[in-house]
Amino acid sequence: MFINFWYVADESKNITDKPVKKMMLGQNFVLFRDSKGKVHCLSDVCIHRGGSLSGGKIVKDCVQCPYHGWQFNGAGKCQQIPSLGKNAKIPSRAKIDSYPTKEVYGLVFCFLGDVPEKERCPIMKVGEYEQEGGERQCSIFNLILIISDQ
């Protein structure tokens, strides 16, 4: 498998106001949309006690762990630890892995590798989707077949 590649995680329409669990390359991820409509992809494991973030909810543009309420923003940085109290400083190491996302062709693509943005391969252009109405004419299944054949 090529880790430094863009992978289709889901159709854009499926990422709404609840966290969504997805498996890519044998790993679990959580996708969620913030209040500005941007999709984020994080590791689906809370660093506190290993809870599945996808079982939580979205609070203030963060995904909240269902176990102890830790909240992580789209960059993976912890924004809230309820047990610390209101004015406590959150440790800088309280973060989880985050992954770049792009929405193209009505799909959410996630880059799972670690190369700098300038060195990332582009998302492959697909002629069927470039045409007007292409999203309706080409299903996600067909898109995956087209990409895998190239």
Q: Find the CATH number of the domain harbouring 39.
A: 2.102.10.10
Yes or no: say if 108 and 12 are a contact pair by the CB < 8 Å rule. yes
Q: How many distinct structural domains can be found in the chain?
A: 1
Is 140 within a domain?
Answer: no
**What average pLDDT does this structure show over 18-44?**
96
Residue 150 belongs to some domain of the structure: no
- Is 84 a domain residue? yes
Over range 2-17, report the average pLDDT. 90
Q: What range defines the domain where residue 87 resides?
A: 6-113
Residue-by-residue DSSP string for the chain:
--SSSEEEEEEGGG-SSS-EEEEETTEEEEEEE-TTS-EEEEESB-TTT--BGGGSEEETTEEE-TTT--EE-TTSBEEE-GGG-SSPPPPTT-B--EE-EEEETTEEEEE-S-S-GGGSPPPPP-HHHHSTTHHHHS-HHHHHHHHHH-
The token duo for 137 is 């004419």
Is 45 within a domain? yes
16 inside domain: yes
CB atoms within 10 A of CB 136: 8
Q: Is the pLDDT of residue 114 over 60?
A: yes
Q: Residue 35 domain-assigned?
A: yes
Q: Is residue 129 part of a domain?
A: no
Domain-embedded: residue 149: no
User: Could you tell me the pLDDT band of residue 133, with boundaries at 50, 70 and 90?
Assistant: low
Q: What is the pLDDT of residues 59-99, one digit of tens each?
A: 999 999 998 999 999 999 999 998 887 788 999 999 999 99
